[in-house]
Chains A and B, each alone.
Chain A
């Protein structure tokens, strides 16, 4: 069996003294969309932050990305290995215009083949091109989400970490985000998607994990997960 793109094992994570993730084991394979679900406060966001060493999370355990142990690396080194981050709340830069967001993020683009450039993200999100000179803080919720995705894409990651991308968005925009996720995985990018909106995420998932109180309590393939959910509903 080929090695996973991301392999997490025995991961514990802390905010100060509070022990949030406990002995988490999780894997993401190349080109796969892995869904992480769970109610608020179950440690989903902490999982993504732990992968990126995003302060103030402290972590212990093993996180191997593309064969490289990253648990002792700083955020920028982990990100530079090929991780893109679409954070909850988007964390855009209010001082920067849309174009500036993309231009400076693209300057950290990895690899020789730069599939995602300013032009290709503008093709994907034409709205952003129309608003290219507008400040990051003055976009609508949907535009902000598109910019957050585009900002991660222009760094040409191999794995995209997405945290609640449907939060606060209209049904139409959620559909756009879903289409984009499908498009990305079909082009070979892996996605680790944290989502509470199961209706959005269910059909996309190749595999799914359920988090409860900082632990993985369920792990199944996408089909099994969808079938289980139908059974629970019935």
Chain B
């Protein structure tokens, strides 16, 4: 019973981490349909920037903020100068974002070296607490991630549903030119959203790097995991990303506990099954 409880908790908190990490890609790829393969590299570079800031300042929150802003600037440059002209051309977007991902990975290797590093859990989030109903002790940091994912998900939902900017973004995804014909500088709006997706990826690098190690190669693993989450959930749906993260998190958590030799198989099985039944993903919409 203890193992089941732990699997559920680990599954939920892994899902939370996956959602946090995938939230940026939800904006750029799922919503704006930019094939953004540099997302994993954004995550990794954000993690290392955060690590340096933490070492210099001792503030974990500052590390998150600076990492987010640094990667937002990187994303802004990528979109403005390399991706904007290729909008709608998936192949070019794939090649450009892939090239930039490789370049960022190499730069990270040059600047921070190839040894794995971790970000120390901040004092106030370290240790474990007892969860009343389940009667198990559980790390505070993992519970914090769960809360953070809920706040982030709620915040993004409100942003996309309730703000004029969020509505404009959804309209722009439906019909880019018609939004421009209403007087909106939709190109600039999309560049800002891409920068926001970079901010989320960079900040997620610090949150993820505090739980897992930061090392070159992790960028591709994170990219694969977040793509799985988004593809299962379906393009264009924030709820889809949340559900995709839950399925992936729980499947991975139970698989690693009970049949560790099949954990990768269990991770990709839902992708194959769901895509063969619903090619657009669970909550996906057809591309406009």
Binding site for B on A (CB under 8 A): 52, 54-55, 74-76, 79-80, 85, 87, 91, 93-96, 100-101, 103-105, 107-108, 110, 151-152, 155
Contact = CB atoms under 8 A, between A and B. Distances in A.
B167 A103 contact: yes
B175 interface: yes
B175 A91 contact: yes
Most chain A CB within 10 A, of B168, B178, B181, is at B181
Nearest to B31: A95
A108 B288 contact: no
A104 B178 contact: no
Interface stretch (B6-14, B182-190, B209-217): B182-190
Interface string B143-175: 000000000000000000000100110110111
Nearest to A48: B181
Interface of B: 164, 167-168, 170-171, 173-175, 177-178, 180-186, 236, 285, 288
Contacts of A87: 178, 181
Contacts of B288: 94
A96 B164 CA distance: 11
A208 to B, nearest CB: 25
Contacts of B178: 85, 87, 91, 93
Given A76-B186, A91-B175, A93-B175, A54 B170 contact: no
A2 B201 CA distance: 56
B85 to A, nearest CB: 13
A136 to B, nearest CB: 8
A100 B164 CA distance: 8
Contacts of B285: 95
Contact of B168 (A85, A104, A152): A104
Nearest to A74: B180
A19 to B, nearest CB: 22
B167 A100 contact: yes
A103 B164 contact: yes
Contacts of A93: 170-171, 174-175, 178
Given A95-B174, A96-B174, A104-B168, A54 B183 contact: no
Contacts of B171: 93, 95-96, 100-101, 104
Contact of B184 (A96, A100, A108): A108
A120 B158 CA distance: 27
B224 to A, nearest CB: 28
B181 A79 contact: yes
B174 A108 contact: no
The 9 closest A-B pairs by CB, nearest first: A75-B180, A80-B183, A93-B174, A79-B183, A108-B183, A104-B167, A93-B171, A76-B180, A91-B178
A107 B186 contact: no
A105 B175 contact: no
A80 B183 CA distance: 5
B242 to A, nearest CB: 18
29 contacts: A54-B177, A74-B180, A75-B177, A75-B181, A76-B180, A76-B183, A76-B185, A76-B186, A79-B180, A80-B183, A87-B178, A87-B181, A93-B171, A93-B174, A93-B178, A94-B288, A95-B171, A95-B173, A96-B170, A100-B167, A100-B170, A101-B171, A103-B167, A104-B167, A104-B168, A105-B182, A107-B164, A108-B183, A110-B183
Contacts of B168: 104, 107
A93 B175 CA distance: 7
A182 B248 CA distance: 58
Nearest to B170: A95
Contacts of B173: 95
Contacts of A55: 177
Contacts of A104: 164, 167-168, 171
A94 B175 CA distance: 9
B185 A96 contact: no
A151 B177 CA distance: 15
A160 B211 CA distance: 57
